[in-house]
Structure formats: C-alpha cells, structure tokens
Amino acid sequence: MTKSFDFSPAAIAQLAHADVARALAEDVGTGDLTAGLIAPDQGASAHVLARENAVVCGQAWVQAAILALDPQAHIRWHVQDGGRCEANQVVFEVQGRAQALLTAERTALNFLQLLSAVATKTATYVAVVAGTRAAIVDTRKTLPGLRLAQKYAVRCGGGTNHRIGLYDAVLIKENHIAAAGGIAQVLQQAAKMAKEADFVEIEVETLEQLAQALDAGARMVLLDNMSVPHLHEAVRMNAAKANPAILEISGGVTLNGLRALAETGVDRISIGTLTKDVQATDYSMRFETLAGTPA
C-alpha cells in the first residue's frame, strides 16, 4: 500500500548495507581483538544451523555483513527469504577468511535471528486467518533504526505493511479528532492537506463514531478495541454504504482471539506484537574446516 519504499531486491540490498555498516561500526570499533589471534591468511569453511522451525529472513543482511569484511567470501543459501526451515537444518554455508567470518558472525546472526523471528511470528498469525478476507498488518511499533528491515520481514512472513512512517500516510486518532473539533472537521482538513498521502485513515472507538466517519466520507476506518459483536455490527453498517470503506481492527489483538476477529468480515487486522514482542530465532554458526588461504 505504501509508495515510500519499494522493497525491490536492489532496495533491500542497499538497506541491508546501511544497517550492517552501523552494526559493524558498533560492534567492531577499532578492531576485533579476539579475531586478531587468527592468522590473516587462514581460510575457513562454516555453516549456520537453525535450532528451531522458522521462516527464514535476513539473507541480504547476512551477506552484507560477511562481504563487508571479506568481499571474496562465497555464501551458498539452502533456504531463501520467506522459506521455511526445520530444526537442525543448514540454512547457509560460507567459505572465506577465518578472521572475517569470526568478526562478522555476531552481526550477521543478530539480523538473521531478529528478522526470522518477525517473519515466523507473522506467518503464524497469517495462518490463523487463512480463508477469511482479513490481511495481517504491521504497525510503527518497530525497533528504532530497523523499521524497514522489520517491515520487510513482515512481508516475508506473508503479512502486509501499514504506513512506513508519519510522512507517507495519515492516521487520525482521538487526539487529532479532539484538536480539530470533530470527525467531520478533521476529515475535511485531511482531504485538503493530505492529497499526496498513500491513504487517510481515521480511528474510531464506538459505533456512533463509525457512523459519523462513514457519513463524512471516510475511506478507511480503524476500529479500536471493539468487541466482536460490535465488530459484526460495524461490518454490517459499512456494507450498507454505497461505497464501503476499508475496515481495520487494532488494539488488544491476541493469537487466541484472532480467528474470531477475522471472521467478523473486516479487511485488515493490525498487530504491534509482530515487530515489538518477538523472541529471536535460534541460529548457530559452526566452523567445519580451517585450511590455508581461501581460494
């Protein structure tokens, strides 16, 4: 839905390069004192194992980390981004200079474990709503500096991106409505001021507010913390309109209640926990051989 980032392979590679540059500067600083114990011309071969079932994500970041330190390293992936791996499966193999691989290991795995965790969690939520019209959507509740990376991971898990930031779409919440003087007033202002926005969405908390928003011409409405019976009524009210709005659910969404929410007939369910409450996927790098200068 967003136009502010295209998520093409080239754009992802560029994003990963920038993210990794910051991460390596943070970790390596003036040099890796421990890797310095290894001869500079020592070669190495290693593989990375997944310790649990997961949806893999982070290939560009792994490659950026390793190739930044050894441009001649060779990486062979067994599972691509968006693909599923099983516990104890080899996700990728790498050959290169031992020093470089040892220094890059933690940065590469940090990105791989975080982004795979987001993709895996998203895929779990997507599976629960399968067969309904509801899309699983992320939010702005992301790790500072890693928003685009996490939103890419949501896509790898089968989810949908909400707005990227405050600059590309309008999401009118209760404080905006209060400051503007009401639902109709704030929507009128948005129509004048936000013509370049990807979309304009307004948040409502009651069926009365929904009726006001729909009467004012809202094209996208966020139903905040509504009960399942109220959501069914909201869908019915919206369907009765000649030009129905896109309806989105937000607030208090849990995996246990997710299917019931999706079966109300809403279009989207936005979930902050996809990116803010994730448990890192467990990966481990193991060196297989250390033999001479890498080819």
Q: How far apart are CA 184 and CA 267, in angstroms?
A: 23
Chain-centre distance for alpha carbon 150: 3
Chain-centre distance for alpha carbon 32: 31
Q: What Rg, from alpha-carbon coordinates, does the chain have? A: 23
Q: How far apart are CA 75 and CA 96, in angstroms?
A: 9
Query: Could you tell me if 48 and 91 are in contact, meaning their C-beta atoms sit under 8 angstroms apart?
Result: yes
Query: Could you tell me where the DSSP H helices lie in the chain?
Result: 9-28, 59-69, 98-128, 147-156, 174-180, 183-193, 207-215, 228-239, 258-262, 273-276
The helix/strand/coil state of 197 is: coil
Q: How far apart are CA 73 and CA 194, in angstroms?
A: 48
Active site residues: 106, 141, 173, 203, 224
Find, among 13, 144, 41, the residue nearest to 98 by Cα. 41
Written as one string, the DSSP assignment of 217-257 is: T-SEEEEES--HHHHHHHHHHHHTSSSPPEEEEESS--TTT
Find, among 87, 105, 93, the residue nearest to 51 by Cα. 87
